[in-house]
Structure 1
Amino acid sequence: MKEIRGDAKTIRELLSGNKYAIDYYQREYKWQTKQLQELLEDLAGKFFNDFEPSHERQAVKNYGHYFLGSIIISQKESKKFIIDGQQRLTTLSLLLIFLHNLQKTRLYQVKLNDLIFSERFSQKSFNLDVEERNACMESLFNNIPFDDTEQPESVKNIVARYADIQEYFPEDLTGDALPYFIDWLIENVHIVEITAYSDEDAYIIFETMNDRGLSLSPTDMLKGFLLANISDEAKKVQANQLWKKRVSELIELGKDEEADAIKTWLRSQYAQTIRERKKGAVPGDFDRISTEFHRWVRDHKPDIGLNKSADFVRFIERDFAFYSRQYLQLREASISLKPGLEEVFYNAQHGFTLQYPLLLAPLNADDDPGMINQKIRLVASFLDILLARRLWNFRTITYNTMQYAMFVVMRDIRGKAPTELVKILRQKLDAEPEVFASNERLLLHQQNYNAIYQFLARITDHIETQSGISSHYREYIAIGKNRYEVEHIWANKPQRHSDEFSSNADFYEYRNRIGGLLLLPKSFNASYGDLPYAEKLPHYYGHNLLAKSLNPQCYDHNPGFLAYKEHSGLTFQSHEEFKKSNLDARQKLYQKIAEEIWNPERLNRVVESYISEEVAG
């Protein structure tokens, strides 16, 4: 083996003036929303341990450091080929591009260009230089939408993860803290770069670090601790078999799911404290369970009732078995629609991972299936309403923004019966300052495409099912060649509306309002998107009910829809033309439909339905 070098580098040292390549046989960029969220949460949490608004920028050099692991490089002539670590380097590149764009409007900016690309003879090349990704990276850097149709998996994931960064980047980092955070990220976050000078040596290092690194995971260590405290050998064997079976089922669902299930269970039932967002604040139960749940259980034995051998048996055979099973079912419901658990899926569509400890919090191991389902539906419905209201009012639902409030809800609803649960959840919704009527100007912008898409899918599906039409929600959110897209009723032609708008900016603001949007197949926009409204209108009649309701024909011989219009009192009307006043009318209509869908009375109906079923049974 030739010379091997290991250098601890800051992000600036790693990326400035260096070019990294990926061989064609390397695997795709595969990070998903979960990994991206965890990285943002970890970075923000570490940064806020030291940040104070009163600090000068120079104080950042004394902030704590963050270790992002190691990467393995094969050095070939002037190029560095990534053998291990492209997932992190790709994600870091996306984060730097996002931060570059985020600070564009600021008078003083932290220079990031040389960490993202280099330029020679007016030719730009990215420091993470992968040919098939360059067009996509260029579009993201220039803040231009990129169509990833027919693109490789890596490019699709890059586009999706950049959208995740836009959606989940902590709001409290976007203000005065931003330049401090950028300084900290590039100067205080470190990666160890391990360099070999042949592929063979690089892969030997990679295999040694991965295949032979048989260190126990936190899940293994927790199991070992619990089993070691069971004195009855037969019960120990039985508990071990149950543990292995359930962990196997969770791993089948996805990587790290067994650890996530345990964290979710312990947080939901036992976390009493959470770290405050201020300098020097110590981690609470909620935080420690996330990073070292095996140690937390050992340190809190008496608090969670682990005193004698029988307690440890119960902890595995009753509690772990029950909550891990419920977690598994909830995760499955978040991936595909399950009858009775639709709200779990809806919340997951927003990437809201905090829902899982909340959904488990009111459950007791001796609850019957009907009671479990009722409690889950109550909490999931509460979250569905809360998230919709926040998104409608341009408020973020990122992990860091919502973490403390959701911890308080989780703690307050722990183990509660349904009737008490309804009271608590209704009080929390009633205490929210904003409802749908608080924002009459909801519009599509760069950061809320997914939220607007989900609003349109839910609104369209709701009015159709209420009119007696089978649900097409799965079709509306499906991904693929025939996917749906947000369609602007007004084409991107401000000159057609110069009689009502004196400036292009005013036109675009109105054009993007939700009342001027529909959800239609991608092919429709390609064929008809630029046409004047009068020419689009006949084609709208051939699509979903929200689009169809613009056309006068929708109000003839359509008994299901007309009955729904009548009993709901919603002001549906056709529009022969679509001027500013017509868009205003649709904006109000969409708001009223949203108020009907996300009505807090849903919570009471869940309880009433359960009581009726119990009486009937």
Structure 2
Amino acid sequence: MREILGKAKTVRELLKGVKYSIDYYQREYKWHDKQIRELVDDLSGKFLEEYQPDHPRYKVADYPHYFIGSIIISKKDGINYVVDGQQRLTSLTLLLILLRNLQKDRTDQVNVDEMIVSEKYGQKSFNIDVDERADCMEAIYEGQPFDLTDRTESLQNLYQRYQDLETCFPEELCDATLPYFIDWLLENVHLVEITAYSDDDAYTIFETMNDRGLSLSPTEMLKGYLLANIDDNSKRISANNRWRDRIRELNEAGKDVESDCFKAWMRSQYATKIRERKKGAKPEDFDRIGTEFHRWLRDASESIGLKQSADFYRFIDRNFDFYSRQYLRLVEASHKPISGLEHILYNAQYGFTLQYMLLLAPLRPDDREEIVRKKLRIVSHFLDILLTWRLWNFRSIAYSTMQYSMFLVMRDIRGLDPDSLAHNLNEILRKEEETFESNTRLRVHQQNRYSLHRILARLTDYVEIQSGQPSRYMEYVSEGKGRYEVEHIWANHPERHMDEFNHQADFAEYRNRIGGLLLLPKSFNDSYNDLTYEAKLPHYNTQNLLARSLHPQCYEHNPGFLRFMEASGLPFKEHIQFKKVDIEERGNLYLQLAKCIWNPEDLLKEVGL
């Protein structure tokens, strides 16, 4: 093997003015929202452990360095080809673009452009240089929409992961903390760059580093520990068979489902403390389970009741069997509507991964099936209300922002019966200060477009279901050719509204309010988006029921809708024109609809109160 170089580099050293190419057979970008969220949570969590708001920025240089992995480069003809690590490099580039956009209009900007793009002979190109990504990356870089119709899965992933970044980036890093975080990311976060000077050498390194043939996974090490403590040979064989069957089903459900199940289960039933967000704080149960659950369980075995051989057998045969089955149910409910468990899907659509441990927390292995389902409905409904309230008030629901409060809820609802569970969670919601009424000016902006899309889908779907039509929620949130988009009722033509607005900024603020928005097919937006309201109105009458409710004909020969209007008392009305007052009235309608959909008293109704 020829010369091989390995060097730890900061993000700045790795990306500033350096071009990376990717061979055609490795160009697929495959990360999903889970990996993006884990990257953001990992980086933000490590930064916030050290961050002190009362010190100057140069003190960030004293923060500990943090290592996030390695990349393998094959250097050929002066070009850097990424053999391993392109997923991470691409995701870091997307994060840098987000940080660039978050800094706009700030006076304390940190220059990140040189880590994203470079220019030669007047031609700009991205430092992760892949031809087929260029137009998509350009749209992301400039903050412009990008048409995903008929695009490859790789490009769809690329664009959607940027939307995920906008959604999950912690609110607590967006204020005065932002330049500190960017400094830390560029100067204190390291990757090891391993450089070989032939493809053969590069792939030999890759295969060696990724050879897991002899290494045991955390779950395999945990199994070995548990089985070794079962004295009865027949029971040990039985427990091993049970373990094998359950692990196979978890692995069939998807990558990382196995380890995520153990983390959610053990946190939900055993975590009693969580690490404080301050410098020098030590990891507690919650944190250790997230990073080394197999070691944590071995250390905590006596405190959680694993003392005799029978305890270890029961832990596998009863507990693991029960909670792994429930976890698989939650995974399934996160991907498709299941009657009675729809709120799990809605929460998953927001990207809220903390819900699994909360849903498992009140469950007990001896719960009857109807009790399990009732508990799942109560907790998922609670989360649906809480998350929507936060989003309605421009609050973050990112993992790092919600982790501590959700830990407290999880700990407090552990093992509760349905009645106690419903009362407990209803009381938490009653104490919340930010509800729908606390923000009557909800508007769409770059960072909440994804979540507002989901809220509009729920409003639209509710109106149709209550009017006797089938649910179309999955149609409204699906990606691809026939996807729906957030439509502004007013076209972006402030000159048409000079009778009501002296300044373009005032027009834009009103135009972006939720009362001026609909959810419509992309093809509709492409065809009619630029027209006046009066010209669009007849076309709205051909769309979903919430859009149709703008048109007078919606209130004729429409018995299901008219019955719903009368029974609910909601302020639906036709709008022949659409002025400031119409946006305000329509906004109030949406707010009243939201209060019907996300009503804390519904938790008590789950238990017949």
- Give TM class, smaller chain: over 0.9
Q: Which amino acid aligns with 1:577?
A: Q
Partner SS state of residue 573, structure 2: coil
Instruction: Answer yes or no: is 1:216 the counterpart of 2:216.
Output: yes
CA distance in 2: counterparts of 1:221 and 1:386, whole angstroms: 38
* Cα distance between partner residues in 2 of 1:511 and 1:47: 37
Whole-angstrom CA distance in 2 between matches of 1:500 and 1:104: 29
- Structure 1 residue ranges (4+ consecutive) displaced by more than 6 angstroms after TM superposition: none
Question: What is the CA RMSD across the aligned residues, in angstroms?
Answer: 1.3
Q: Distance in 2 between matches of 1:334 and 1:415?
A: 23
The residue type equivalent to 2:323 in the other structure is Y
1:19 matches 2:19: yes
Deviates more, 1:98-107 or 1:554-563: 98-107
Mapping of residues 578-589 of structure 1, within 5 Å: 578-589=578-589
> Residue 193 of structure 1: SS of its match in structure 2?
strand
Give, in angstroms, the shift of residue 70 of structure 1: 1.2
Aligned-pair identity (%): 61
1:275 aligns with 2:275: yes
Structure 1 position 128, deviation (Å): 0.9
Q: Secondary structure at the match of 1:438?
A: coil
Q: How does 1:150-189 map to 2 (within 5 A)?
A: 150-189=150-189
Residue 293 of structure 2 corresponds to residue 293 of structure 1: yes
Structure 2, unmatched stretches of 5+, are none
Question: Is the CA contact 1:47–1:64 (under 8 Å) kept in the aligned structure 2?
Answer: no
| Structure-2 residue corresponding to 1:10 | 10
Instruction: Tell me which residue corresponds to 1:56.
Output: 56
Q: Is 2:507 the partner of 1:507? A: yes
1:564 maps to a residue whose letter is F
Aligned to 1:357: 357
Contact 1:73-1:84 within 8 A present in 2 as well: yes
Give the AA of the match of 2:236: K
What SS does the aligned partner of 1:7 have?
Answer: strand
Q: Per-residue deviation at 1:149? A: 2.3
What amino acid is the match of 1:78?
Answer: G
| Distance in 2 of aligned mates of 1:225 and 1:42 | 29
Query: Structure 1, residues 168-218: CA drift from partner, whole Å, max 9, x if none?
Result: 111111222222211211121111111111111111111122135532111
Does the 8 Å contact 2:378/2:603 carry over to 1?
Answer: yes
User: Against the structure 1 CA distance between its residues 323 and 488, is the aligned structure 2 distance closer, same or farther, given a 3 Å change threshold?
Assistant: same
Q: Could you tell me how far apart the structure 2 residues matched to 1:56 and 1:213 are? A: 48
514-523 or 290-299: which moved more?
514-523
What is the CA-CA distance between 1:546 and the residue it aligns to?
0.4
> Which letter maps to 1:469?
Q
Rounded Cα–Cα distance in structure 2 between residues aligned with 1:588 and 1:112: 41
- Is the Cα contact below 8 Å between 2:485 and 2:520 reproduced in 1? yes
2:551, 2:574 within 8 Å by CA — same for their partners in 1? yes
Q: Partner letter of residue 451 of structure 1?
A: S
Q: Which residue of structure 2 lines up, in the alignment, with residue 126 of structure 1? A: 126
C-alpha separation in 1, matches of 2:214 and 2:361: 34
What residue number does 2:199 align with? 199
Match of 2:537 in 1: 537
Q: Distance in 2 between matches of 1:70 and 1:454?
A: 37
Note the alpha carbon deviations across 1:32-79, whole angstroms, 9 max, x for none.
111111111111121122221122322222212211111111101211
Counterpart residue number, 1:145: 145
Residues 200-599 of structure 1 correspond to what in structure 2 (within 5 A)?
A: 200-211=200-211, 214-599=214-599
Helix, strand or coil at the partner of 2:607? helix
Following the alignment from structure 1 to structure 2, what is the Cα–Cα distance between the partners of residues 363 and 8? 46
1:614 match: none
**C-alpha deviation, 1:151, in angstroms:** 2.2
Q: Is the 8 A contact 2:148 2:480 kept in 1?
A: no
Question: Can you list the C-alpha shifts for 1:416-439, whole angstroms capped at 9, x where unaligned?
Answer: 011111111011001100111111
CA distance in 2, matches of 1:213, 1:501: 68
Distance 1:238 1:261 in 2: 21
1:256-305 deviation line (CA, Å, top 9, x unaligned):
11000000000000000011111111111111100010111011011110
* Count of residue correspondences: 609
Per-residue deviation, 1:376: 0.4
The answer as to whether partners of 1:46 and 1:64 remain within 8 angstroms in 2 is no
TM-score (norm 2): 0.98
Q: Which moved more, 1:327-336 or 1:550-559?
A: 550-559
Q: Cα deviation per residue 1:233-271 (whole Å; 9 max; x = unaligned)? A: 221111111111111111111111100000000000000
Q: Deviations for 1:385-423, whole angstroms, at most 9, x for unmatched residues?
A: 111111111111111111111101000000001111111
Task: Report the Cα offset of residue 145 of structure 1.
Answer: 2.4
Per-residue Cα deviation, 1:316-339 (whole angstroms, up to 9, x for no partner): 111111011100000100011111
Question: Which whole-Å CA distance do the structure 2 matches of 1:584 and 1:171 have between them?
Answer: 28
1:474 to 1:104, Cα distance in 2 relative to 1, 3 A:
closer
538 and 47 in structure 1: CA distance in 2 versus 1, 3 angstrom threshold: same
Q: What is the letter of the counterpart of residue 575 of structure 1? A: H
Structure 2 counterpart of 1:375, which letter? K
Report Cα offsets for 1:123-180 as digits up to 9, x if no partner: 2121111111122222222222222322222221111111111111111112222222
Structure-2 separation of matches of 1:144 and 1:221: 48
The residue number in structure 2 matching 1:111 is 111
SS in 2 for 1:304: coil
Instruction: Please report the TM-score for the alignment, with normalisation by the length of structure 1.
Output: 0.97
Tell me which amino acid in the other structure corresponds to 1:467: S
Output the CA distance in 2 between the equivalents of 1:235 and 1:275.
38
Separation (CA, whole Å) in 1 of partners of 2:255 and 2:214:
17
- Inter-CA distance 218–212: structure 2 relative to 1 (3 Å threshold): closer
Query: Hey, what's the Cα distance between the residues in 2 that align with 1:556 and 1:56?
Result: 65
AA of the residue aligned to 1:470: P
Question: 1:208 corresponds to which letter in structure 2?
Answer: T
